A and B are shown apart, each in its own frame.
Chain A
Amino acid sequence: MGRVNRGWKGLKKSTKTDFATYLGVIAAFVLVNALRGGGMLSSSLTGQLVPICCYIVMALSLNLTVGVLGELSLGHAGFMSVGAFSGIIAAMSLQRAIPFAPVRLAVAMAVGAVFAALAGVVVGVPVLRLRGDYLAIVTLAFGQIIKDLLTCLLVGYDSDGLHMAFNLSGTLTINDLGLKEGGIAIIKGAQGATGTVTIASFAAGFVLIMIALAVILNLVHSRSGRAIMALRDNQIAAESVGINVTKYKMMAFVTSAALAGAAGALYGLNYGNLLASKFDFNTSILVLVFVVLGGLGNMWGSIIAATVLYILPELLREVRDYRMLVYAIVLILVMLATNNAAIKGFFARIFRREKGGAVQ
């Protein structure tokens, strides 16, 4: 039986979708690079490539928490900021140790992922005992707390290594770190990370998306993934068959946080200046919008939603002052359209007809 069913048609539907997702991402990468090489890509689009990659990974990772685990998290930008700032600190202080930028970027992204995962554990242990609205509120609070803490952080680097201070009184400045001659200020409290050497690249963004996809899709289709989804569908039933609730919730939550951290590191290293206030509630909601529009639990949907919704406001610069108004209207229309039975039925019919034609 196995032998007969080998090949594309014999694969499970979910496996086909996964392959199509990987292939789509690779095709998009090749296409964009070809256009770039031919000088066909505007600088506006070129500049958006890295942030788009970051937001795609953010959407994918949040989709793991919201779509697969079924818990509403409103503090996802908090993990992004932990990853961004730890990644920047790593990249800036390793400048001499690792002169080759791509390797330094990879190390920074790994550091960002580790620190965000740690934050995920710290937040996850108490938070995952809560459910539904309560969990949403606590994650929201986490996002705020981490933003305020990062605002107080002073970090510098000199020949003695890293110097850190916590500016709780609000009266310390970067000069209080006592940096030696030739030292660099990496994070200046409220001024954020200033003077960051930007080493982020589109290729790194592509690799990160592929890693995120591989991690998430493999997790979802594994035995653990089925346990996680069982928790989403009915926690009591899942517990009754012996699924360890805390373990599987933590697994999904921490994986999600780690990926967000890596995306944050890439994002942070794409801009010369990064403020902690960038990662506020609005950013969390923005990513949540990508996830909801793309479809809960639907990874390729998240990728497309993040890309389209990121580029859209930039394309709308033509209409000037009405930009944000148009953006909002488009959002509402897309929401309506994707949930409209008539439109869904329309596409389903076309699909069926094509399929039918192919069989005949």
Chain B
Amino acid sequence: MKKKSLAAMLMAGAMCLSLLASCASDPGSTGSAAPSQAPSQGTQESQPAGEPSQGSEPSATGASGTFKLGGIGPLTGGAAIYGNNAMNGAQIAVDEINALGGMQFVLNPQDDEHDGEKSVNAYNTLKDWGMQALIGTVTTGPSLSVGPLAFQDRIFMLTPSASSTDTVSGKDNVYQVCFTDPNQGFRSAEYIDEHMDVSKIAIIYKNDDAYSQGIRDSFAAEAGNRGMEVVYEGTFTTDTQSDFSVQVSAAQSAGADLVYLPIYYQPASIILNQANSIGYAPTFFGVDGMDGILTMVGFDTKLAEGVMLLSPFAADAEDARTQSFVSEYQKRHGETPNQFAADGYDAVYIIYEALKAANCTPDMTAEQINDAILGVINTISVDGLTGTAMTWATDGTVNKDPRAVVIQDGVYVTP
């Protein structure tokens, strides 16, 4: 009897393991439509070059002649779509650069579950691996925990999309590809005031989220300066983001004809749904967190029709580079890339251009590379998917033109 149950346990364990083994060996069987599964294909298909050198022997850097780029972002959990897009985009850029035959890169993306503590662990793991520059973190909260470490260890950190000013402030070697939150809020107010015909504005934002609160603050300040009328402000938190009937009907009864949503796309999708169900149809205006709503599983994209968002990247842009990036991304992952993918892609090219300008070689240490990049980063100008002729100020923030897009027939269109 006792032996039987022991044997049963061992069997159960063996079966679990074999299940895992079959998962791992067959990346092709995962459904390509689900975004959370797509990255497993990408990393496995495109990373064989990185696998052998990874792990036990960070000293192999010089011998193999490749630059080791660490990547940190949420690859699982609620914010996974951002991390996966950014890392997939970065991987495409790495493969493109490697195909040129000059400088060689290897990217090691690590999961941080959008949590500061896990992010620090991921950072330390990458340090053990021998990372020479960091592309990350993708989200703001973790960047504030990892940033000070990168600053201390003198490892150059370029975040694709962590948009808080705190991310870069006080750290000379932390740079951003994206706009800062105040910049987003400021630019949104500017754009709405100058390009749109609206009289009353409602804001619904998440007041336990650094990103959302940061954008709201600067938007409200700039709207006040410009004399725009904000008739309603509704807040929610992580625990209350499943129902917005109160905020939506309050915005409606306040007569707002534009609802500003400086929030992520999951709650935004619920707001769109509930506004639709009570027949309230203002213009919805989002920021970069809204990006991703079109690829959300189980969301009727018709509801997003006419939604505007401030995004530096539109997948329907005409230029050849965007076109080839989008088609490559679709080929690999079966979905249209969002702005985060473009940010990740640009981040790799920015580091590439900086390394070229500074004449870096793969046998340099992370600290030497850091100092070399800092010597040139404020003078170079990089053309990327999210902006042309991007330049950087010494405080780590980027200069590029913001663009607004509107959703029409399920794609972003430049208005």
Which A residues have a C-beta under 8 Å from some C-beta of B? 42-48, 51, 144, 148, 151-152, 167, 170-171, 173, 188-192, 194-195, 198, 271-278, 280, 314, 317-326, 329, 333, 336-337, 340-343, 345-346
Contacts and interface: CB of A to CB of B under 8 A. Distances in A.
Interface stretch (B140-148, B189-197, B255-263, B313-321): B140-148
B144 A272 contact: yes
B117 A51 contact: yes
A278 B116 contact: yes
B138 to A, nearest CB: 15
Interface of B: 2-3, 5-6, 9, 12-13, 16, 20, 23-24, 39-40, 43, 55, 75-76, 110-111, 115-117, 120-125, 127-128, 141-142, 144-145, 147-149, 164, 166, 170, 205-210, 212-214, 217, 220, 233, 235, 237-239
Contacts of A314: 121, 125
A271 B145 contact: yes
Contacts of B205: 170
A190 B5 contact: no
Given A47-B124, A195-B166, A170 B235 contact: yes
Contacts of A173: 217
Contact of B207 (A151, A326, A341): A151
A324 B76 CA distance: 9
> Which residue, of B141, B144, B212, has the highest number of chain A Cβ atoms within 10 A?
B144
A146 to B, nearest CB: 12
Given A190-B207, A322-B24, A277 B238 contact: yes
A43 B117 CA distance: 14
Contacts of A271: 116-117, 120, 145
Given A46-B124, A190-B209, A314-B121, A342 B144 contact: no
A233 B264 CA distance: 49
22 contacts: A43-B127, A48-B124, A151-B207, A171-B220, A188-B210, A191-B214, A195-B170, A271-B116, A272-B145, A275-B116, A276-B208, A321-B43, A321-B75, A322-B23, A324-B76, A326-B20, A341-B2, A342-B2, A342-B3, A342-B6, A343-B6, A343-B9
B210 A191 contact: yes
Contact of A48 (B121, B127, B145): B121
- The main secondary structure of chain B at its interface with chain A is helix
Contact of A321 (B39, B210, B212): B39
Contacts of A342: 2-3, 5-6
Given A173-B217, A317-B110, A189 B116 contact: no
Nearest to A47: B124
Given A190-B210, A271-B117, A277-B238, A320 B43 contact: yes
Contacts of B208: 148, 151, 190, 275-277
Contact of B40 (A47, A276, A320): A320
B166 A275 contact: no
Given A195-B166, A326-B20, A340 B6 contact: yes
B233 to A, nearest CB: 7
Contact of B125 (A44, A167, A171, A343): A44
A30 to B, nearest CB: 22
A67 to B, nearest CB: 25
> Which residue, of A194, A280, A337, A340, has the highest number of chain B Cβ atoms within 10 A?
A194
A336 B20 CA distance: 19
Given A194-B144, A314-B125, A341-B2, A325 B9 contact: no
A318 B210 CA distance: 31
A315 B306 CA distance: 46
Contacts of A321: 39-40, 43, 75-76
Contacts of A275: 116, 141, 208, 210
A337 B111 contact: no
A170 B208 CA distance: 9
Nearest to B77: A324
A170 B240 CA distance: 15
A43 B116 CA distance: 17
A276 B213 CA distance: 14
A90 to B, nearest CB: 20
Contacts of A329: 16, 20
A346 B5 CA distance: 13
Contacts of B110: 317
Given A170-B233, A321-B40, A342-B2, A273 B207 contact: no
Contacts of B141: 192, 273, 275
B9 A341 contact: no
A47 B210 contact: no
A190 B213 contact: yes
Nearest to B121: A314
B13 to A, nearest CB: 6
B348 to A, nearest CB: 20
A21 B127 CA distance: 33
B127 A189 contact: no
A88 to B, nearest CB: 13
A280 B208 CA distance: 12
A170 B207 contact: yes
A190 B166 contact: no
Given A148-B208, A333-B16, 9 more contacts: A46-B124, A47-B124, A148-B237, A151-B208, A170-B207, A171-B233, A189-B207, A323-B76, A340-B9
Contact of A42 (B6, B16, B128, B147): B128
A272 B128 contact: no
Nearest to B122: A317
> Which residue, of A188, A189, A342, A345, has the highest number of chain B Cβ atoms within 10 A?
A342
B70 to A, nearest CB: 12
Given A151-B208, A278-B116, A322-B24, A198 B235 contact: no
Contacts of A317: 110-111, 122, 125
Contact of A44 (B127, B142, B206, B239): B127
A230 B173 CA distance: 59
Contacts of B16: 329, 333
A45 B128 CA distance: 10
Nearest to B206: A190
